[in-house]
Amino acid sequence: MRLFVALEIPPGVRESLGEFLAVLRALSSQPRWVRTDNLHITLKFIGEVLPEKLGDIRAALSAVHSDRAVTLDFRGVGFFPNEKRPRVFWADVEASLNLGQLAGDIDSALEKLGVPPEKRPFSPHLTLARFEPPGLPEKLRAVIQENARREFGSVAAREFHLIESKLKPGGAEYTTLETFPFVVAEV
């Protein structure tokens, strides 16, 4: 099983991003566009695990809590590593400080089960497309630059999800295995 932990994107934000992506897809098929229904914010990529480890993972995740919801504002777009040689096109996520703490707590809980800890600092973003090979068609660049600070919506997240990813020829297929409410008492 290939697993990850993520926050879901609310329908209004998903719809706004979907409209924007439809415009971009019409301009270029060159990047590998993420399907709108697959949009999420990854908190922790777990990777391949044996099915018998699933119970331990669920138990570890159910112990992760926060005293308040995570607020997320989806605003702006950009590239990793940069616009000159993009590999990933993303929507920016401006989040409350407790999002980093939540991701760190999930990482720590899973590390106790032998899941390797993250080596890079947590950087919330929403992957919209992948460029293979890196490169950005000029007509796509122009529309993206016009929308560099576009607003897509906001959410206050109170739960995260354990998701299974099955890689298929038409793209990844995601199945939510369990939802974990993480807010114990709002401050």
Query: What are the catalytic residues?
Result: 40, 125
Say if CB 92 and CB 77 are below 8 A apart. Answer: yes
Identify the sign of the CA torsion 77, 116, 10, 38.
Answer: positive
Neighbouring-strand partners of residue 3: 47, 164
E strand spans, the chain:
2-8, 32-33, 40-48, 70-80, 88-95, 125-130, 151-157, 159-168, 171-181
Question: Between helices 98-111 and 54-62, what is the axis angle to 10°?
Answer: 140
- Short-list 174, 152, 150, CA closest to 163: 174
Q: How far apart are CA 77 and CA 126, in angstroms?
A: 9
